[in-house]
Amino acid sequence: MTVADWATAVLLPLGALFALIGTFGLVRFPTLLGRLHAATKPDTVGLVLLLLGAAFQLPDVGSAVPLALVGLFQFLTVPVLAQTIGRVAYSRGESDRAHLVTDELRQALRESRDDGE
């Protein structure tokens, strides 16, 4: 076992653990927005750790560059997806108000409606 092998042996299960916890949260969280948090973000951390672990098994640094590209792509797309689904969930009234401590967007919407009338 070389140092690179040890790095892979640590990083791969750690990344898979993050992915596993994220999907477990997808099953366990009671609210849609909670599930959205659990499904998108720990998956990203997990994928980055897995990519890093895989990079240590490649023969040279140059062939690891495309893996970095996959990670970068994931970093760029996750915020777009999370924001779009979050906005759609809110506008469909699926924000599960019973599980919110405060909802200042609702207050702001109500105030702007009162001003309009």
Partner 1 sequence: MNVLEHVYTATFAMLGAGVLFTLVRLVRGPSVLDRIICLNALSVLVVSSIAVEVAVRGDTAYIGLMVTIALLGFVGTLTAARFAERRAHDRG
Partner 2 sequence: MTAADESGAVRPVEAPADERSWLQRLLGRLPTVVWLTVMWVILWGDPSPGTILAGLLVASLGYSAARLPHLPVRLGFHPIAVLRLASRIGYDLFASSVRVAFHVLWRPERTRGAIVAVPMRTDSDFLLALVSGGLSLVTGSLVIELNRDQGVIYVHGIPVASPEAVEGLRRQVRRTEELIVRAFGNAEDIAEFERAEREYATTTRKETS
Which residues of this chain interact with partner 1, rule CB under 8 A? 1, 5, 8-9, 12-13, 15-17, 19-20, 22-24, 26-27, 32, 35-36, 39-40, 43-44, 46-47, 50-51, 53-54, 56-59, 63-64, 66-67, 69-70, 73-74, 77, 80-81, 84-85, 87-89, 91-92, 94
Q: Which does 102 bind (CB under 5 to 8 A by kind): partner 1, partner 2, none?
A: partner 2
**Using CB under 8 A as the criterion, what x/- string covers residues 31-60 for binding partner 2?**
x-xx-xxx--xx-xx---------------
Yes or no: say if 33 and 85 are a contact pair by the CB < 8 Å rule.
Answer: no
CA distance 90 to 109: 12
Residue with tokens 């560059």: 65
Q: CA torsion angle for 86, 84, 22, 26 (degrees, to 10)?
A: 50
Residue with tokens 């690179």: 4
Q: CA torsion angle for 39, 41, 108, 92 (degrees, to 10)?
A: -20
Interface positions with partner 2 (CB under 8 A): 18, 21, 24-25, 28-31, 33-34, 36-38, 41-42, 44-45, 63, 65-66, 69, 75, 78-80, 82-83, 86-87, 90, 95, 99-108
